[in-house]
Every structure is written in structure tokens, then in C-alpha cells.
């Protein structure tokens, strides 16, 4: 038990990727402990989303290793990485627009619904049993964000904030060990953001999972992250607790530097 708690959920070493000769991410080394909430911040274009894409194998790394719960993900596809325990949301929301809210969550549950194509076509007892279970599970998950009453609404007709929340529920449904959130608070007002913070903590505690989030809202990042990694130009420039990060000279430099440009 104690050994399991010591082993990081995710550990990367010398992770990097090049695009056409340009190095986008380099020497990215982090460890995420079980049930840790980690922040990944940095100026625009620093490579944060690229790091998420590397961890979930949307991009194959040019070099380095990703160990997920002790397993090497070297030869894994995005699907296998998800099965191994990483789920994510997207900066530019990617829902299944023409499916309902409930169906979106059921896609997250896909691997955990156990009946085959033929049970489905011939409506065998197994189909009814498993669909009922999936229905209940989906509503239960939606209820975390108080969205159960919108289960039959088409995903693309949800307001923006609700779409972001649905992405989190769908990711949770895959039963991950590590949840990657790409700008979960983007486009939310302060009260929605505050509610989101509570919910992220609640999710971590209830599901006992680790969370890593990219976010520009510093109140949110400093408020809920136990540890923060700061990247700039694809490299880690600082790492530590919110308090340490706030006073780190490299970080101030990076943010002020980018501030001048914009």
C-alpha cells in the first residue's frame, strides 16, 4: 500500500519533440504523485498544450520516456494511453456535437460497458442490463456538476461553460488515474470559476486521482494547485509550490518578457 502511494502516477524523463527542425519541447522531466493537483503554466506558445499532446500520444515524442503508473507508454496509441489511465479535456472544446450529453458521457464509459456488437443488434438481455447500468452511471457522473437534468440535450446546444464541464465528466467516465485539464476555466465568470475549483478538489478526493491543469487564471492555479511547473520555450524554468513560484525570478522574467511583446 505504502509503496503504491510513493510511486508517481506519471513520470517523464528527457521528454521532447521537434517539429521540422524546431524544438517545441525539450528535457521535460516531471513527476506527478497520486492525488496530486499540479499546475502547468507559462506564457502563450510556451508548449503547454504540446506537452499534453505528448502525454496522450496525439504526438509521438521525438525523445524521452513517459512512465504511466510504472508502465512504459513508448509504443502506446492515444487509445491505449487512455486505457492505461490518462484522460484529458481540450483547449478548443472537442465534444461529440450531434450526440446528447448522456451519450457523450457513455462514450467515456465505452470501455466499461461490457456487451458486444451482436448483443446490441439482437438486443440480448446483456444489452438491457449494461445499458441500464451505463445510464445510471452517466447520470451519477453528470450530477457532480449538476448536469443530470440536461442529459437528453444535444451537446452542441449547451452553453460554453457547460460544454467545458461536460468534457470533464466525459474524461472522468473513462476512470483515469490522471486527469489532464487544458484551460478548464477559459471563458468562465469568477463565480463559475470558484465553483469549478471546488469541483476539481471534490473530484480528486472522491475518485482519488491526480490532476494536472493548464490555466491562465492565476487565482485558480494558485488556489488549488499543490505544485506548479512553469514552462517557457518548451523547457521547464521553475517548479515548486505556489508560494515559491510567485517569487521566482525566472518566472517573473518570463511573464514580464512576454508581457512586453503583447
What residues line the site for other proteins (CB under 8 A)? 19, 49, 53, 56, 58-59, 77-79, 82-83, 87-88, 90, 94-99, 103-104, 106-108, 110-111, 113, 115-117, 119-123, 127, 130-131, 134, 170-171, 173-174
**Nearest distance, CB of residue 157 and other proteins, angstroms:** 12
**Nearest distance, CB of residue 260 and other proteins, angstroms:** 21
C-beta closer to other proteins: residue 167 or 217: 167
* Rounded Cα distance, 97 and 82, in Å: 21
Q: Which long-range contacts (CB under 8 A, 24 or more apart) does 79-83 make?
A: 81/55, 81/56, 81/57, 82/56, 82/174, 82/176, 83/111
**Nearest distance, CB of residue 217 and other proteins, angstroms:** 22
DSSP code at position 185: T
**Nearest distance, CB of residue 247 and other proteins, angstroms:** 34
- Are 4 and 179 a contacting pair, CB within 8 Å? no
C-beta closer to other proteins: residue 115 or 207: 115
Q: Which long-range contacts (CB under 8 A, 24 or more apart) does 15-21 make?
A: 15/51, 15/54, 15/61, 15/63, 15/64, 15/65, 15/66, 16/61, 16/62, 16/63, 16/64, 16/234, 17/50, 17/54, 17/59, 17/60, 17/61, 17/62, 17/63, 18/62
C-beta closer to other proteins: residue 17 or 228: 17
C-beta closer to other proteins: residue 27 or 131: 131
**Nearest distance, CB of residue 79 and other proteins, angstroms:** 5
C-beta closer to other proteins: residue 9 or 172: 172
Amino acid at each position: 500500500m505504502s509503496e503504491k502511494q510513493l510511486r508517481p502516477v506519471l513520470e517523464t524523463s528527457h521528454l521532447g519533440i521537434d517539429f521540422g527542425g524546431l524544438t517545441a519541447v525539450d528535457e521535460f522531466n516531471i513527476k506527478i504523485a497520486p492525488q496530486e493537483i499540479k499546475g502547468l503554466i507559462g506564457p502563450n506558445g510556451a508548449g503547454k498544450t504540446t506537452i499534453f499532446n505528448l502525454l496522450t500520444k496525439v504526438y509521438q515524442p521525438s525523445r524521452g520516456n513517459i512512465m504511466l503508473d510504472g508502465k512504459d507508454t513508448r509504443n502506446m496509441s492515444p487509445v491505449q494511453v487512455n486505457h492505461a489511465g490518462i484522460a484529458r479535456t481540450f483547449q478548443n472544446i472537442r465534444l461529440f456535437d450531434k450526440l446528447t450529453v448522456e451519450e457523450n458521457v457513455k462514450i467515456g464509459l465505452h470501455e466499461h460497458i461490457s456487451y458486444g456488437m451482436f448483443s446490441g443488434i439482437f438486443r440480448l438481455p446483456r444489452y438491457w442490463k449494461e445499458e441500464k447500468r451505463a445510464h445510471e452511471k452517466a447520470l451519477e457522473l453528470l450530477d457532480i456538476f449538476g448536469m443530470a437534468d440536461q442529459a437528453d440535450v444535444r451537446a452542441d446546444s449547451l452553453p460554453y461553460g457547460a460544454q467545458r464541464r461536460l468534457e470533464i465528466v466525459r474524461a472522468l467516465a473513462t476512470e483515469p488515474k490522471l486527469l489532464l485539464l487544458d484551460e478548464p476555466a477559459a471563458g468562465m465568470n469568477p463565480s463559475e470559476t470558484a465553483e469549478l475549483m471546488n469541483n476539481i478538489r471534490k473530484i480528486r478526493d472522491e475518485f482519488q486521482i491526480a490532476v494536472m491543469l493548464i490555466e491562465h487564471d492565476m487565482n485558480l492555479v494558485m488556489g488549488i494547485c499543490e505544485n506548479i511547473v512553469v514552462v517557457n520555450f518548451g523547457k521547464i524554468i521553475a517548479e515548486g509550490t505556489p508560494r515559491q513560484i510567485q517569487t521566482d525570478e525566472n518566472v517573473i522574467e518570463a511573464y514580464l518578457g512576454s508581457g512586453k511583446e503583447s
